[in-house]
Structure 1
Amino acid sequence: MLNSKIGAALAALLLTGAAGAGTTNGIANGGFEAPAGAGQIAAGWLTAPTASPATLSNDAHSGSFALLLSAPGGFSDSVGFQNSFHHGGLPALGAANVGDTPLLSFWAKGDASTTGNAFVKMNYLGDSGILGAALNTTFHSLLSTSNWTQFNFTAAAIPVGTTSIQIEIGTSVGPILDGRPNAVLVDDLQLTLTTAPVPEPQSYVLLAAGLAVVGAIARRRRG
């Protein structure tokens, strides 16, 4: 009983001495406001080389711009994508991110058309390439043509070795039917990453001292 009480006290002490968990945005320029560089739609964002490249629109949820995904002629894709480290310029992910399940949030409106969809995909990347899928889902069935709708999706846990996250958001469409266009607007993307709390150096000293006390008690009981 005494050992369990001491163990609980030590755990509480270690957590008390830990730097609190922090949150960061794992997507750069999620509002598409920063000006584009060479080959970019907006800072940090590229478009897939299809017949219908993603562009910007001034119909925005906030600010001046939103991402416009549209394949008006049909039989095409329109995709915007970002690698958080290589394109977005964000810090590489590390051990403090492992096990986190990021929350992706964004606003969207529009119409994917009768034969189209709107999708978002995320992959975890390491030095050797793709480590695993983080998210792969569609959201066109919940779109409104006139009002912005917020979408929230929880990604899979970040695996060991992850250094960056790649996100793709887009629309894919077959023939245009019934006069319904294929045009989807996306804005204000936020990927909330939570880093694990890190114990302060003095916490390790206190933990070591506490473990020594537990060991001494155990030896006295055996003696």
Structure 2
Amino acid sequence: MTTLALSSPVQVEARLDRPLSRWLWLVKWVLAIPHYIVLILLWIAFCPTFVIALFAILFTERYPRPLFEFNVGVLRWTWRVSYYAYGALATDRYPPFSLADAPDYPARLTIAYPDRLSRGLVLVKWWLLAIPHYVVIGFFLGGVRVGLWSGGLIAVLALIAAVVLAVRERYPRDLFDLIMGLDRWVLRVAAYAALMTDVYPPFRLDMGGAEPAGERSP
């Protein structure tokens, strides 16, 4: 007998925009600077909210809802900027300056609010249990060297896709699916490490713009 496994509480979805500018990717690092400045401030604020949430979970088994929504918003904003810039380069639509979900934007992130979280796990999951994932996503984000330039696998693949776009006027669909799988893995680990879920991220590359509906298990 088979049952349908529940989908991940962390939902990362995106669509590949068409058409894409052949050359805009060359200056997106400049265009994204205002977002980078805001994100630095948001991530500074993220750190104390993480600590407060840790103690709240430890004593009450709950992640304070306002802090949860703020931290999801930070991750969501980060994902949109990454998707626009060198985490995918898969849209030319400028990201909104907002923590809220933007249903019409090509890149979306949602995280289901947990009713209860484990007191025991909160002490170890963000550092000890997540170490194997940190090793893997470290390669995704910053473990590749090309000549004098050092960057992660995701950035390298995004730049390859951009060069193909410049030459052939199309973003390779296979590369998009792979990049999405890598980005999805990173964001699942980020949500787990940020204490937003007790569901351990799978060691699995779920490729493509849409989340898998679920998988059948015995």
Q: Give the TM-score, by structure 1 length.
A: 0.25
**Bigger strand fraction:** 1
**Bigger helix fraction:** 2
Q: Which structure's CA Rg is the greater one? A: 1
